[in-house]
């Protein structure tokens, strides 16, 4: 069985986090393949559990996928990135949004085995899992690939900030090189 370890979990010096957080993390760890979540973690450890703990069902848009985890489907939002919108109600499709969705679909076709890595907060206000998504075939951190290829802007929302610095560096390089949306659009959330 694979254990899901939240990245960047603070060492509470012997103090247990609130019971509600523990219950959520234990439930999520069981859903993502069993085992116990580590009580403390000194930071990102992409090699901690290298095998898959989920399978891609479908891509929703450039930063959201549906995965099969523990026998059920879960919506998963990629942490640390923000792609142009393609499906927000009452909002026009944004510049490079279709390209971001198409690229994520190419990176993650149905049945792709993946490893979901959590940070401090396991779900967003919409109930989606918040994940760093690794393809198990080649170990690629998909969140980072989307930034590197100029298909997303970095989005750092505390407390899920384990990869803030490397993600910001990817955006800086993509902007400087005019890669993807940075060469084709006036900004990351502009109309085409």
Q: Is 125 a catalytic residue?
A: no
Which residue out of 5, 103, 115, 128 is catalytically annotated? 128
Per-residue pLDDT of the chain (192 residues; tens, 9 = 90+): 333 445 544 333 333 343 333 333 434 444 444 333 333 333 344 344 457 899 999 999 999 999 999 999 999 999 999 999 988 777 888 899 999 999 999 999 999 999 999 999 999 999 999 999 999 999 999 999 999 999 999 999 999 999 999 999 999 999 999 999 999 998 777 776
Q: Which residue has the tokens 């095998």?
A: 51
pLDDT at 176: 96
Question: Of 5, 74, 85, 170, which residue is the catalytic one?
Answer: 85
Q: How far apart are CA 62 and CA 51, in angstroms?
A: 24
Catalytic residue of the set 5, 77, 135, 148: 77
pTM here?
Answer: 0.75
How many domains would you assign to the chain?
1
| 26, part of any domain | no
DSSP letter string, the chain: -PPP--TTPPP-TTPPPPHHHHHHHHHHHHHTTSS---S---S--TTTT-S-SEEEEEEEETTEEEEEETTEEEEEEETTEEPPPSS-TTSPPPTTHHHHHHHHHHHS-TT-EEEEE--S--B-TTS-EEEEEEETTT--BHHHHHHHTTS-EE--BTTB-TTHHHHHHHHHHHHHHT-THHHHSSSTT---
CB atoms within 10 A of CB 18: 8
What is the CATH number for 68? 2.40.50.90
Q: Which domain holds residue 106?
A: 53-182
- The question of whether 77 is a catalytic residue gets the answer yes
Domain presence at residue 11: no
CA distance linking residue 123 with residue 19, whole number of Å: 16
Could you confirm whether 128 is annotated as catalytic? yes
Would you say residue 32 lies in a domain? no
């Amino acid at each position: 069985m694979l254990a899901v370890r939240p990245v960047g979990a603070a060492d509470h010096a012997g103090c247990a986090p609130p019971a509600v957080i523990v219950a959520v993390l234990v439930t999520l760890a069981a859903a993502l393949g069993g085992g116990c979540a580590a009580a403390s973690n000194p930071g990102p450890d992409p090699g901690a559990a290298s095998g898959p703990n989920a399978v891609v069902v479908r891509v929703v848009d450039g930063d959201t996928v549906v995965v099969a985890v523990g026998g059920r489907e879960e919506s998963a939002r990629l942490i640390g990135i923000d792609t142009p919108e393609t499906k927000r109600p009452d909002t026009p499709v944004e510049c490079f949004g279709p390209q971001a969705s198409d690229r994520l679909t190419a990176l993650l076709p149905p049945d792709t085995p993946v490893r979901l890595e959590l940070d401090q907060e396991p779900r967003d206000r919409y109930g989606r899992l918040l994940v760093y998504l690794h393809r198990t075939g080649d170990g690629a951190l998909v969140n980072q690939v989307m930034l590197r290829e100029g298909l997303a802007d970095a989005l750092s929302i505390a407390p899920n900030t384990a990869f803030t610095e490397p993600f910001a560096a990817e955006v800086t390089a993509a902007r400087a090189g005019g890669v993807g949306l940075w060469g084709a659009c006036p900004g990351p959330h502009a109309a085409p």
